[in-house]
Structure formats: C-alpha cells, structure tokens
Amino acid sequence: MFISGFSALLASLLYLYASRLIWQKIQSDTELNIRSRVMKIAILATLMHTFALSTTLWSHEAIHFNMGNGLSLVALLGSAILLTTCINKNTVTLGIFVYPLAAITVLLPLFMTKATPLPFTLGTHVLISIAAYSIMGIATAQAILYGIQEHRFRTKQLSTLMKALPPLQIMEKTLIQLVVIGFIFLSFALLSGVFFIEDLFAQHLIHKTFLAILSWFVYGAFLFGHFKYGWRGRKAARYTIWAYFLLVLSFLGTSFILSSLGY
C-alpha cells in the first residue's frame, strides 16, 4: 500500500510539473521548446500512474472496480494517448487539459478503497468498455476544441490559449487518430459484450445495445467517408460529437429505464 501510494503521489507531482511547464509556454511570448522535456516527465508520470493503478485495480482473483479506479483509468488513457500523438506531432500543449486532471484522479483510488470484485472475463469487458467510452470522450473533447479553434481562426479572435494550441491541421489529424483508436476499442467492447448477453429484453439491454451499435455505425461511416472521400474539418467534428452523443445516451438511457423499473 505504501509503494502504491508513493507511486500515485509521485505521478501526481510529475503531472503537475508538466502542466506548469506547458502553462509557462502558453503564457510566454517567446518560442519555448519544451516538447522533449515535457514528454520525458509525462512518460515517467504515466509509468508511475500505471503501476499505482495496477495495484488497486486487479489481484490474482478478480478485477476490483470502483469510481476511483474508473476515473484514474480514464486519465491514464488520456495521458498515454497524448504521448502517442506526440511521437510524430507536436501536440504537447494539449497536456494542459489532460495532466491537471490526471494529477487529481491518480490519487482517487487511495481514498476510494471500497470496490466491487468482478470475475476476470466480466471485468475485462467492463475495462474495455470504459476504455472505449473514455477514448471517444477524449475524441469528442478534441472535436469541440477543434471547432472552437477553427471558428476563432476564421473570425480572427484567437486568444492566448488558442494561439498556443497545435495548428488546425495537426488538431484534425489528432482527432482522426483518436476516433480510429476509440473505434477499435468500441468494436472489441461490443464483441466481448455478446458473451454476457443471455436475453436482451429480460436484461433490459435492448436500448443500450441498439444505441451503442448505432453509434458504432456512425463512427464507422465517418471513418469510411474520411479515408474514402476525404471528409475532414467541421464535418469530422460533427460526426464525432453526434456519435458520442448516441454512445452516452445508450448508457444514460438504460440507467434511467432500469432505475424507473426499480432495478
């Protein structure tokens, strides 16, 4: 427990340090080259985060799930994906939205210790589903940010933060990368979910399944249109946002139906 807590605290401090460096670059009038430095710090923070989460998330018998572990996993995925996009694109300033949240959520499992143990098969499906929702959520946030940046660019109303963000072309490529990764995870989530469905109507999963599959088709249609016909820009942002709306609705709608039925 001590090692886990120390790793989580160290990861949190490293995330905050990376955030501070990025904020200094945003506020500076000079061209500070912090990409290499921030990436090294973020890699170390992500590794510490991974170790800390692994000690609370699973054991030899089961996967232990609670809100703290779930939010920590979302932040870990965000940090890891941002590092992946930084390999061939200078997207380091996007860390100002990711790292402060990661600094907080990495500590949550230390305080939210009550967890529900799940068998590895069901737990794996839950984790894949959380990963799919999280990555698509990050893609949606990226789409919204791209839309704001594109609008500010056209109206020549760029703020200091908007100017510090990567160019629109890089923002667009990052959005496509996120949707591709999320689409893969969503596909595995839907496929793995088949093994836990016995009766769609009896388990009250028909609404969730229908909307999740519909969301998958919207994402798939967009990716097909992008690679086949070159769909991009605001169209890419709109498809991403609407598809995620269906994905969220599949979860919230089912939760509402189950609660209204007394489940």
Positive or negative CA dihedral for 4, 181, 244, 174?
A: positive
Collapsing DSSP to helix, strand or coil, 64 comes out as strand
Question: What is the rounded distance in angstroms from the CA atom of residue 4 to the CA atom of residue 21?
Answer: 26
Give residue 44's identity as a one-letter amino acid code.
L
What is the rounded average pLDDT of the residues 241-245?
Answer: 91
Q: Is the pLDDT of residue 57 over 60?
A: yes
Q: Is the pLDDT of residue 253 over 70?
A: no
What is the rounded average pLDDT of the residues 214-239?
Answer: 92
pLDDT digits (tens, 9 = 90+) for 78-124: 999 999 888 878 888 899 999 999 999 999 998 888 877 878 777 78
pLDDT digits (tens, 9 = 90+) for 8-49: 999 999 999 999 999 988 887 555 678 889 999 999 999 999
pLDDT digits (tens, 9 = 90+) for 102-114: 999 999 998 888 8
Collapsing DSSP to helix, strand or coil, 118 comes out as strand
Question: What is the rounded distance in angstroms from the CA atom of residue 169 to the CA atom of residue 153?
Answer: 12
Neighbours of 3 (CB within 10 A): 10
Report pTM. 0.82
Task: Give the tokens for residue 241.
Answer: 């946002």
